[in-house]
Amino acid sequence: MADYILALDQGTTSTRAVAFNRAGVPVASHSVELKQYFPKPGWVEHDATEIWQAALACCRAVIGEVGLENIAALGITNQRETTVLWDKTTGNPIHNAIVWQDRRTADKCHELEAEGWGEKVRARTGLLLDPYFSATKLAWLLDNVPDARAQAEKGALAFGTIESWLVWNLTGGAKHISDATNAARTMIYDISKQSWDTELLARLNIPENLLPQIVDVSGELAEVVPNVFGKALPITGLAGDQQAAAVGQACFQPGTLKSTYGTGCFVLVNTGEAKIASKHKLLTTSAYRLGDTHAYALEGSIFMAGAVMQWLRDNLGLFEDTSETAVIAASADPQSGVVLVPAFTGLGAPHWAPHARAAILGLTRGAGKAEIIRAGLEAVAFQTYDLKAAIVQDLAQADLRLPDVLRVDGGMARNDWFLQFLADILEMRIERPPVTETTALGVAYLAGLGAGLYSSFEEIAENWRCDAYFEPKMGADERNARLETWVRARDQVLAAAEGDL
């Protein structure tokens, strides 16, 4: 009996395929690094064709190792908000994909805010007016790629986020779909009505014929055509990366909390049937949709987490491998006063300052690479603290309490020094599961549920295990002093973005 699930995890910096067994243990994997393009300051792009080719290579490598006959189904998870527009006839993208980190439409968002659209967007989509989301990226493509709008009006083009693009290619163009969690990140999807919002589409001049059909996160969603892998393979799971990670962390009950530390950092708390309207600039989004069950979540998005360490490595050459950073950070002077505010592509929640730019403050002659590396790791924890403070206040609206435990995953979750500092700053127990690539694991669970390998979320939750935990050790005086230093530095960056410095 085929009892492996193939998970395709298409991220911001790499594409990975993993085969999991029913116990949620990875049995084979393959990954390909993804190149990013930076045509202008604040602009970030991917080549969607490169993404498709990498996805094929990763899946074929894993299939070659475990055998297609042993794979029950395929699940796909993806970097959200990244926007692709392609020709339906040729299947070719008409422009590079515009990545979620891209800030080119900041002025458009300010224009919409000035027109009074901010409250409508928040009420209907649960999102804030920000270039982070897909809608203004899509509008930009229609307005700036030659002949794009004319082709769109004729129905010759298709829009999708990355999962939609991959499904289109895997099915030979037979399926143009998006799941509810990805649709909820476009800024043109009404999360209450669970449909595209015609008024927002009209304001942005986006033809509805561009848009994919919305489907559940699990079920018989599509089928890979035989010529791709050698025989047909059902696609039974789709979810945006952060919602997939929440499934992988078994965050099925209201109040359960996870934080993923990949390229960015994304803190997500399940709020169940309560669609909480954030008063602290968090996002109200879909946790999952499955039949008549639609669970919501509050989410805080940090644009730069692992990407901070990538910048310190690639642009400054401060280390060769991220595995070194825990030892280097431990060797740094803890009283150096160096603070890194990683607003390389603006600051996300709860500040939403797209024009903010990064800064390193508190440098002295005694500061060196160790202090800067430590400051980079600390910055991710400090930003998580900002999110925690906002989440606590928003949850109170629904009589929900933040748990004492935070489940973590992603590449940075393998750094013990970082997790101890995170526990100290948040004053929370941090728990790390054996599999830190819970994004891939979560969509494997969804695909397994859709293929009948699991009967319920409760059965999936039984697989979750804690591999390591970190308890707060830092004294209150030191914690408060460090937080005060962070707030001063962060507020200087925000003031500079507003022209107040």
Last residue of a domain, one of 211, 242, 273: 242
Per-residue pLDDT, 501:
47
Whether 324 and 228 map to the same domain: the answer is: no
Same domain, 172 and 57: yes
Is 291 domain-assigned? no
Average pLDDT taken over every residue of the chain = 93
Residue 1's pLDDT band (boundaries 50, 70, 90)? Answer: low
Residue 492 lies in a domain: yes
Residue 56 lies in a domain: yes
Regarding whether 343 and 194 lie in a shared domain, the answer is no
Inform me whether the pLDDT recorded for 475 exceeds 90: yes
pLDDT of residue 395: 86
Per mean pLDDT, which range of 81-95, 288-302, 392-406, 446-460 is the poorest?
A: 392-406
Verify that 201 and 316 share a domain, yes or no: no
Domain range enclosing 352: 306-386+475-497
Classify residue 442: in a domain, yes or no.
Answer: no
The helix (run of H) or strand (run of E) holding residue 398 is none
Total domains present in the chain: 2
176 shares its domain with 32: yes
pLDDT digits (tens, 9 = 90+) for 438-453: 999 999 999 999 999 9
CA distance 1 to 67: 12
- Would you say residue 257 lies in a domain? no
Task: Report the pLDDT value the prediction gives residue 42, as an integer from 0 to 100.
Answer: 86
230 and 312 inside one domain: no
Q: In CATH, what number is assigned to the domain containing residue 171? A: 3.30.420.40
Boundary-marking domain end, from 242, 268, 297: 242
Residues 108 and 193 in one domain: yes
Query: Which of residues 191, 220, 242 is at a domain's end?
Result: 242
Same domain, 48 and 137: yes
Is 316 part of any domain? yes
250 in any annotated domain: no
Bridge partner list, 296: 272, 286
Rounded distance between C-alpha atoms, residue 362 and residue 338, angstroms: 5
| pTM for the model | 0.87
Instruction: Quote the tokens at residue 370.
Output: 């160790």
Residue type, 407: R
Please give the average per-residue pLDDT across 443-469, as a whole number: 94
Asked if the structure places residue 456 within a domain, the reply is: no
Nearest C-alpha neighbor of 7 from the set 457, 449, 443, 454? 443
Q: Are residues 147 and 17 in the same domain?
A: yes
Question: Do both 138 and 32 map to the same domain?
Answer: yes
Question: What is the residue whose two structure tokens read 């996002």?
Answer: 283
Residue appearing with tokens 């403050």: 361
**Same domain? 217 vs 319:** no
Nearest to 452 by CA among 229, 238, 234: 234
95/214 same-domain check: yes
pLDDT at 369 over 50: yes
Q: Partners of 407 in the beta sheet? A: 258, 431
